[in-house]
Chains A and B, each alone.
Chain A
Amino acid sequence: EVQLVESGGGLVQPGGSLRLSCSASGFTFSSYAMHWVRQAPGKGLEYVSAISSNGGSTYYADSVKGRFTISRDNSKNTLYLQMSSLRAEDTAVYYCVKGIPGIDAFDIWGQGTMVTVSS
């Protein structure tokens, strides 16, 4: 079964750090670009970050640039999102997502992990 499982979410104070992990199974992880999408409570979907299949290319939304770092370990089939200098507006469910090559439609989503930034 193709599956993505996120972990690492939780409550963190403003200015703090958190690292999210996403464990992939059921497909050849190293062949696919991977993405993070977030959703603030009661709001829509926001594209956060992406990384190429070999990790050589990354993208960040302006809202997180300079504060978040995406990475991957293809030997462990795991995607990461290191988040620092967290703000209240980063509070959201963070989804790990696999894209369909060439069209970047997101066909596999994790269950999401909640990040709450609050004092």
Chain B
Amino acid sequence: DIQMTQSPSSLSASVGDRVTITCRASQSISSYLNWYQQKPGKAPKLLIYAASSLQSGVPSRFSGSGSGTDFTLTISSLQPEDFATYYCQQSYSTPCSFGQGTKLEIK
């Protein structure tokens, strides 16, 4: 099975900051990497699919990049509603697998 490792596990930032979250796969997954946002008590929400494609309705301040084993999620200018937990997911092979999550908190 493919292991996904996110860093950092938690992050404190301020409104307006540029933030980057990293996800690394234990083997190459091409561009089969997706990013989700989850707020407390809510289901995850798809932000980015296929490494860099923005899901419909997601603000353009979110972007994704990478291929192979190393990927990043960038939020260009943090907004108050962006404070949440973020997960990466590989869908290259079954079983799909998630990173452990990155909790983004207000500084």
Contacts and interface: CB of A to CB of B under 8 A. Distances in A.
A44 B43 contact: no
Contacts, number: 53
B44 interface: yes
Interface stretch (B12-20, B67-75, B95-103): B95-103
B98 to A, nearest CB: 4
A103 B98 contact: no
Contacts of B32: 103-104
Given A44-B100, A45-B44, A104 B91 contact: yes
Contact of B43 (A46, A61, A95): A95
Given A105-B50, A106-B46, A45 B98 contact: yes
A95 B89 CA distance: 15
Interface string A40-81: 000011110010000000010100000000000000000000
Contact of A105 (B91, B95, B98, B100): B91
Contacts of B101: 44-45
A93 to B, nearest CB: 9
A11 interface: no
In this complex, the member of B43, B96, B101 whose beta carbon has the largest number of chain A beta carbons within 10 angstroms is: B43
Contact size range, A: 10 to 19
Contacts of A111: 43
A112 B96 CA distance: 19
A44 B96 contact: no
A95 B45 CA distance: 12
Contact of B94 (A59, A110, A112): A59
Q: Which 8 A-B pairs have the closest CB atoms?
A: A105-B49, A104-B91, A109-B43, A105-B34, A45-B98, A44-B101, A107-B46, A47-B95
